[in-house]
């Protein structure tokens, strides 16, 4: 499929580059009757905004979401919702130099090879601003989920070697520190660590974790449209992500069956699981327990340190990447992981509605 | 999309359960002119076959592929290719007992919740036999890739704590031991370890690694149809897989930018990378270097040890899973990972053909 | 999309040619819980069978449907349903002659140009036997519709200049004559006319009409997935069909607004329309009234009369098409139009389930 | 699929209603390297503009296209192209009255039934302004085709009973009269006829014809993605269209085989057809000759004459539709038919690129 459309039912079409007139998204297939306003979207976009930490970009961006269609008298009409965010703070001259060479770890080289040329300004379509469309659409998806009693929450689990302590897990803490870590102490250590990186003109990666509560059972379509398969694709589609796991993930590869299986039990409230190594899905279908997934984010490729590379003429050169960039992008990825998770679940819920004759009869029967 | 169809251009539709008349796949969109015969497919299916090790199932299955359509005079016609594999060794009475309860770690519960009832025989659609269709189709995809000079090779990287030693990496060794490990010593240790598991009535997981060589640059469609995103979905769709990573994967989350970036260099043969932490893609597009991906496989859920669970009436019971099952399924997943990787790359190559005007003019221009 | 898959939710993948081992279809996305057996499918396939008239092919075909998967204890499981119909009556030697030239009106030429070569035997994939898969799947779709109180009925409206008289319309008559016309007198005249054609070594076309009753309102997705748009595609995909219309169709092009509009009225039973020039849809969405559509079928291209054409070497030659063929194929198209209509409506019903928040809450709400 | 996305490869996502902030389209999958500017799109949009005739709407609309992304230094980058057209001339108060009832022939009723409520202003999403996105995208598609030597041209073939005379066919005349008829005399007669309609407070329909020249052979994917099937869907998706035909269309239903077949012949320039009743496709694949298709457009539903209808409370009422509307919309549909045809052909060309191994090797081979 054309690459910038995500979803079959709740289908989003993102557009826009770092240095065009704006960025945005068109949401097609949003169900009618959902209360929606610009504030709902702005809340999510604000969580993308840099400037809340000494480690994030100094480029000020007042990304303001504008709904151009699809909402009438405060509710979605079922028609496409077009959301626009104008680009405000741009400096093209920053990038004329990098037009001529390929930055290591960036998509400059592959875009050039794929298309024959590229919009070199600020990363073009592969820049972080591409995530605005995803996040705006994710905000709408999250609203749908909320109406169904489903909540999606992402946070930073680790920055480099600094991990959260699950015993000190505090949901409230997430929005209080610039790393979006649910552990105040860990956030402080992360701050020290990233400060160190910056002095060394280096960058660091980390892991974003996302939990989903309130899932009904039965969501996901074997064999190829399994819920976890679609979550994996959604997460890997985020720039800088190099790995995905659900439940015990790679730890399961080292585990034993007795320990990794989640026994079923009934304490009088219906069937539950005693543990959740599965991470919320069995056979690719939601089992009603919490979905837990993780995204591995690589260290920011743009670093101030000198690097070796090649220019478009094929000459070996040394470069030092100027312009604005973050030494740690993990906190910026948090809301994107949350958005992609919400989008995937909404799409899966919609697909699953036609899985049974009694469901179909509930909607269309006489 | 309906869950049993994979791919947009090279679209495969798999069907069949453990205890139906057979299993198979219909391949739609296979290009015309590819030399193809049943032996090409059989070669791949044989790599699924158990019975080559003391640790795999004792149920003998002579899975024989039959091509019913789409091939004429030894070449594909461009019309759908239907491949059938009859089920031969079945014992329904094995499973009547498990019809009444939910096995931990299996999809019994979720299938029941999703559809309202389930075919309880041998795992039904969630059984390992479902992979036959994928592997048969993967064999055809691999043949296409071979014609283009692209090779896909999967193997077991680790079984529980036993890992291959990259310094002893030997491609030839893969087909010589029952674990499909490219390291003879590691295979022996794995044998000891799994023997231990079996005595303890337990099971163990592992990691499958897959490498792709000969990739052209430019394959993959930003933003949502990135090559690595589609590979993640393909791999996570395989039963028992709980994680995916590409390149340095989760290790990148702990790494630093200076170390993780792959500098470009030109030694006189065009642009290359000095290292490959990226694992073959940049910005979701192939960069011409080797693709390296990994799948985390959980320990087999069916274990002989006693487990606690719940039956369909909601009663708490103790069970011991009879019937045939493998304490380690990682070796069986190897050819499935290879097949899914081949399918994904073929589909991406096809999608990428229309990315540029000069490509389109090459095919349709005057 | 790969060309042999139809439908997004109720997705069918057809396969098989005239002279391969068999033909069939895999249905993915059939909802679980539908009672289904081979007889349901056989009933539809039998309506394809020739041999019921002096004007249809003398090749006897006992097309017997076999369900290979997806049904357990008499109900669909929600897993893919594979249906196989073995080819029994074949004579390859009939077609070796036509391997070398292009029959006028047939797809020989275009298949050759498209794929570089073709399976010349009996029309290969473009032969009438390709419709078996569609009809088998259509039978399953019709069963789903029946459970929802929706009926689909196709019949021959005209053969050449012979049209049914709407005042003599008799549903029961459809299955009683070989033309499937709901008007006994018209059927007799059609018989005389087609007899005349055969003597002249010629063929004739006709119009198939299909009506759908019991439609709920609200089915169809503006703007591009309108119900009538999808019906048009479904019908035009049938071989030999050159036109589609709904409601007054091409007559509307000559009509006036006052006459063509369907006024709404309420006789105490809710909103109805006083007339139905629209043919059951407004703005591409079903309005609850009867859907009426028509397919224009061209005269059979294979005629015994001598024709001029060109062979593969580019030489001008005269031919007379031997082998078996029908001078009128319209009656054979009837069940195919009915099947494609049923498939399209089922797919649209499924798509429409997620159009509103209250629908989604009905299925997934707490 | 979500209803406002058209195309698999060249995928367009339209948005916007009659009374929102604007309308537009996002094109995903446009190949890189195509020269493109706003003038290319404006040229097409201008052909939508009313005000060029006494019979079209008096509402002045200066629809100006703005490209927001996807173009760099005058060429498409391969990234999504977002086109915006702001709504300028709106008068909400026109429509408050119709909010309460269902206009005959319009989608008011079905939108209300489908979504539970509707944006009643000016027809909302079912209004003519929805076509702006299609036409803007069609302009880009037409540009791609032009680079490949393929031309698409639509015109009015008939208005009510007034038909063009093929012997007086003059391509140049199309842009010179307000009916877009390629026959000056017919255009004058049409003017008289529509003037008559207006006096009678009535409306009339017509037929739009579209021809495509320069098609390569081999475009279209049997069985369900046939080129003519997709053209039918594309055309039927246009509001007010009730029928589609290709080649001799419904006339073929009355024709005889000897007359309707197109014999092949070789006059020394390769294989050609002596006639073209097929309309450019055989077996759903282009045969290299001219594609000829027709769309039947119903008379405008909004007429000044009094009509009977029902309001939202279910009460029978009489209405007279105020506001602005055209007594004949056929001329406005011409550029839309042309746009949809161009979009469909571009998508089919892209799909067809992977049909053969030698095509794939041409792009990706070593």
DSSP D170-222: -GGGGGGSTT--S-HHHHHHHHHHHHHHHHTT--B-EEEEEEEESPPB--SBT
User: Residue length, chain B?
Assistant: 366
What CATH number matches the domain at A5-364, 3.60.150.10, 3.40.1160.10, 3.40.50.300, 1.10.3720.10? 3.60.150.10
Taking the C-alpha atoms of residue C308 and residue C319, their distance in angstroms, rounded to an integer, is: 6
- For residue D218, what are the contacts with CB-CB under 8 A and spacing of at least 6? C110, C113, C114, C115, D285, D286, D352, D355
Q: What pLDDT score does A61 carry?
A: 53
Look at the pTM and tell me if it is higher than 0.90.
yes
Residue whose C-alpha is closest to residue C154's, from C91, C77, C241, C216: C241
Tell me which DSSP letter residue D159 carries: E
Q: How confident is the model at residue D18 (pLDDT cuts 50, 70, 90)?
A: confident
User: Taking CA atoms, what residue in A is nearest to B286?
Assistant: A110
A76 three-state secondary structure: strand
Taking the C-alpha atoms of residue A58 and residue A55, their distance in angstroms, rounded to an integer, is: 9
Mutate to test the interface with D, among B345, B353, B361, B362 (most CBs of D within 10 A): B353
Mutate to test the interface with A, among B243, B273, B317, B347 (most CBs of A within 10 A): B243
Beta bridge partners of C14: C25
Contact partners for chain C, using 3 or more CB pairs closer than 8 A, are A, B, D
The model's pLDDT over D154-207, given as tens digits with 9 standing for 90+, comes to 999 999 999 999 999 999 999 899 999 999 999 999 999 999 998 898 999 999
Per-residue tens of pLDDT for chain B, all 366 residues: 579 999 999 999 999 987 778 999 999 999 999 999 999 999 999 998 653 544 444 444 578 999 999 999 999 999 999 999 988 766 555 666 677 888 889 888 898 889 887 776 655 666 778 899 999 999 999 999 999 999 999 999 999 999 999 999 999 999 899 999 999 999 999 999 999 998 898 999 999 999 999 999 999 999 999 999 999 999 999 999 999 999 999 999 999 999 999 999 999 999 999 999 999 999 999 999 999 999 999 999 888 888 999 988 899 999 887 665 678 999 999 999 999 999 999 999 999 999 999 999 999 987
Q: What pLDDT score does B56 carry?
A: 47
Q: Report chain A's terminal Cα–Cα distance, integer Å.
A: 37
The model's pLDDT over A16-53, given as tens digits with 9 standing for 90+, comes to 987 778 999 999 999 999 999 999 999 999 998 653 54
The model's pLDDT over A210-236, given as tens digits with 9 standing for 90+, comes to 999 999 999 999 999 999 999 999 999
Does residue D92 have a pLDDT over 70? no
User: Taking CA atoms, what residue in A is nearest to C1?
Assistant: A1
Q: What pLDDT score does A2 carry?
A: 77
The model's pLDDT over A247-272, given as tens digits with 9 standing for 90+, comes to 999 999 999 999 999 999 999 999 99
Q: What pLDDT score does D305 carry?
A: 85
CA distance C318 to chain A (A): 46
- Chain B residues inside the 8 Å CB shell of C72: 119, 124
User: Residue length, chain A?
Assistant: 366
Taking the C-alpha atoms of residue D292 and residue D275, their distance in angstroms, rounded to an integer, is: 12
Q: What pLDDT score does D205 carry?
A: 97
The verdict on whether omega for the bond into residue C15 sits within 30 degrees of 0, i.e. cis, is no
Q: What pLDDT score does C366 carry?
A: 77
Encoding tokens for residue B253? Answer: 């989350």
HSE-CB of A296 using CA atoms within 13 angstroms: 24
Q: What pLDDT score does A48 carry?
A: 87
C233 is an annotated ligand-binding site residue: no
Contact partners for chain D, using 3 or more CB pairs closer than 8 A, are A, B, C
C170: region left, alpha or beta (phi > 0 left; psi from -120 to 50 alpha): beta
CB A214 within 8 A of CB A288: no
Contact A222 B3 (CB under 8 A): yes
CB D101 within 8 A of CB D94: no
Taking the C-alpha atoms of residue B149 and residue D236, their distance in angstroms, rounded to an integer, is: 44
Burial of C52 (0-12, 13-18, 19+ CB in 10 A): middle
Neighbours of A54 (CB within 10 A): 11
Structure ipTM: 0.94
Q: Report chain D's terminal Cα–Cα distance, integer Å.
A: 37
- CA triple D12-D16-D21, angle to 5 deg: 135
Taking the C-alpha atoms of residue A224 and residue D290, their distance in angstroms, rounded to an integer, is: 41
CB D138 within 8 A of CB D344: no
- CA triple D123-D124-D127, angle to 5 deg: 55
- Chain C residues inside the 8 Å CB shell of B15: 26, 28, 68-70, 79-82
User: Taking CA atoms, what residue in D is nearest to A24?
Assistant: D82
Neighbours of B46 (CB within 10 A): 15
Sheet holding B206-213, edge to edge: A162-163, A151-159, A206-213, A291-297, A241-246, B241-246, B291-297, B206-213, B151-159, B162-163
Q: What pLDDT score does A172 carry?
A: 94
Taking the C-alpha atoms of residue B289 and residue B280, their distance in angstroms, rounded to an integer, is: 5
| Identity of the residue in D4, D203, D282 whose CB atom sits nearest the CB atom of C224 | D4
Contact B2 C20 (CB under 8 A): no
Taking the C-alpha atoms of residue C38 and residue B272, their distance in angstroms, rounded to an integer, is: 59
Q: Report chain C's terminal Cα–Cα distance, integer Å.
A: 37
The verdict on whether omega for the bond into residue D121 sits within 30 degrees of 0, i.e. cis, is no
Tell me which DSSP letter residue D32 carries: B
Average pLDDT, rounded, for chain D = 90
How are beta strands A5-6 and A11-15 bridged, if at all?
antiparallel
Taking the C-alpha atoms of residue B191 and residue B177, their distance in angstroms, rounded to an integer, is: 10
Taking the C-alpha atoms of residue B83 and residue B67, their distance in angstroms, rounded to an integer, is: 5
CB C191 within 8 A of CB C253: no
C13 is an annotated ligand-binding site residue: no
Average pLDDT, rounded, for chain A = 90
In whole angstroms, how far apart are CA D30 and each of A121, B338, B346, C2, D290?
Answer: 20, 32, 21, 20, 25
- Chain D residues inside the 8 Å CB shell of A14: 80
CB C28 within 8 A of CB B2: yes
Neighbours of D80 (CB within 10 A): 34
Taking the C-alpha atoms of residue A34 and residue A30, their distance in angstroms, rounded to an integer, is: 8
Taking the C-alpha atoms of residue D260 and residue C204, their distance in angstroms, rounded to an integer, is: 9
A62 three-state secondary structure: coil
Taking the C-alpha atoms of residue B284 and residue A18, their distance in angstroms, rounded to an integer, is: 18
Burial of A268 (0-12, 13-18, 19+ CB in 10 A): exposed
- Chain B residues inside the 8 Å CB shell of C28: 2-5, 13, 15
Contact D363 B362 (CB under 8 A): yes
Q: Spell A321-352 as b/e; 16+ CB within 10 A means b.
A: beeebbbbbbbbbbbbbbbbbbbbbbbbbbbb
Cα-Cα-Cα-Cα dihedral sign, residues D164, D167, D170, D176: negative
In whole angstroms, how far apart are CA C290 and each of A71, C150, C246, D126?
Answer: 32, 10, 11, 22
- Chain A residues inside the 8 Å CB shell of D70: 15, 17, 20
Contact partners for chain B, using 3 or more CB pairs closer than 8 A, are A, C, D
User: Taking CA atoms, what residue in D is nearest to B149?
Assistant: D366
CB C6 within 8 A of CB D225: no
Taking the C-alpha atoms of residue D149 and residue C208, their distance in angstroms, rounded to an integer, is: 37
Does residue D285 have a pLDDT over 50? yes
Contact D232 C228 (CB under 8 A): no
Give residue limits of the domains in chain C: 5-364
| Identity of the residue in D247, D256, D271 whose CB atom sits nearest the CB atom of C242 | D247
- Chain A residues inside the 8 Å CB shell of D24: 68, 82
Taking the C-alpha atoms of residue A120 and residue A126, their distance in angstroms, rounded to an integer, is: 10
CB C157 within 8 A of CB C180: no
User: Taking CA atoms, what residue in B is nearest to A308?
Assistant: B263
**DSSP secondary structure string for all residues of D212-269:** EESPPB--SBTTTB-HHHHHHHHHHTSTTEEEEEETTHHHHTT-BHHHH---EEESSS
Encoding tokens for residue A194? Answer: 């990233």
Average pLDDT rounded to a whole number, residues A321-340: 86
Taking the C-alpha atoms of residue D206 and residue D225, their distance in angstroms, rounded to an integer, is: 28
Residue whose C-alpha is closest to residue B158's, from A241, A243, A252, A242: A252
Walk along chain C (366 residues) in steps of 10 and give the mean pLDDT of each run: 89 89 95 97 86 46 88 94 86 65 88 82 70 97 98 98 96 92 96 92 96 97 96 97 98 95 93 95 96 97 87 90 76 96 98 95 91
A3-12, C320-329, D354-363: the lowest-pLDDT one: C320-329
Does residue A240 have a pLDDT over 80? yes
A129 is an annotated ligand-binding site residue: no
How are beta strands D206-213 and D264-266 bridged, if at all?
unpaired
**DSSP secondary structure string for all residues of B293-361:** EEEEEPPPS--SSEEEEEBTTS-EEEEE--S---S--HHHHHHHHHHHHHHHHHHHHHHHTTSBHHHHH
A112 three-state secondary structure: helix
């Amino acid at each position: 499929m054309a690459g910038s459309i995500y979803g079959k039912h709740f289908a989003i079409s993102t557009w826009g580059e770092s240095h065009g007139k704006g960025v945005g998204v068109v949401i097609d297939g949003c169900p009618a009757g959902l209360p929606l306003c610009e504030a709902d979207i702005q809340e999510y976009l604000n969580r993308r905004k840099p400037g809340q930490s000494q480690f994030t970009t100094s480029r000020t961006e007042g990304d303001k979401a504008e709904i151009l269609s699809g909402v009438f008298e405060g509710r979605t009409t079922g028609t496409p919702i077009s959301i626009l965010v104008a680009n405000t703070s741009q400096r093209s001259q920053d990038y004329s130099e990098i037009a001529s060479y390929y930055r290591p770890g960036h998509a400059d080289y592959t875009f050039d090879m794929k298309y024959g040329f590229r919009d070199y300004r600020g990363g073009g379509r592969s820049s972080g601003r591409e995530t605005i469309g995803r996040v705006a659409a994710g905000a709408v998806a999250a609203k749908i989920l909320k109406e169904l009693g489903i909540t999606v929450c992402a946070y930073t689990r680790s920055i480099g070697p600094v991990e959260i302590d699950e015993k000190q897990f505090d949901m409230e803490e997430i929005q209080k520190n610039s790393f979006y870590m649910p552990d105040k102490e860990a956030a402080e250590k992360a701050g020290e660590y990233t400060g160190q990186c910056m002095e060394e003109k280096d960058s660091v990666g980390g892991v974003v974790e996302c939990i989903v509560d309130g899932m009904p059972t039965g969501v996901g379509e074997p064999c190829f449209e399994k819920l976890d398969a679609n979550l994996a694709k959604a997460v890997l589609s985020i720039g800088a992500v190099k790995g995905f796991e659900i439940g015990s993930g790679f730890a399961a590869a080292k585990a034993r069956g007795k320990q990794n299986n989640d026994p079923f039990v009934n304490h009088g409230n219906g069937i539950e699981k005693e543990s959740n190594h599965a991470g919320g899905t069995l056979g690719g279908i939601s089992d009603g327990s919490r979905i837990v997934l993780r995204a591995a984010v690589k260290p920011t490729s743009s670093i101030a340190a000198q690097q070796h590379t090649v220019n478009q003429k094929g000459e070996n050169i040394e470069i030092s990447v100027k312009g604005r960039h973050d030494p740690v992008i993990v906190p910026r990825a948090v809301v994107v992981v949350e958005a992609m998770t919400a989008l995937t679940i909404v799409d899966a819920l919609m697909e699953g509605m036609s899985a049974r004759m009694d469901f179909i009869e509930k909607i269309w029967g006489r």
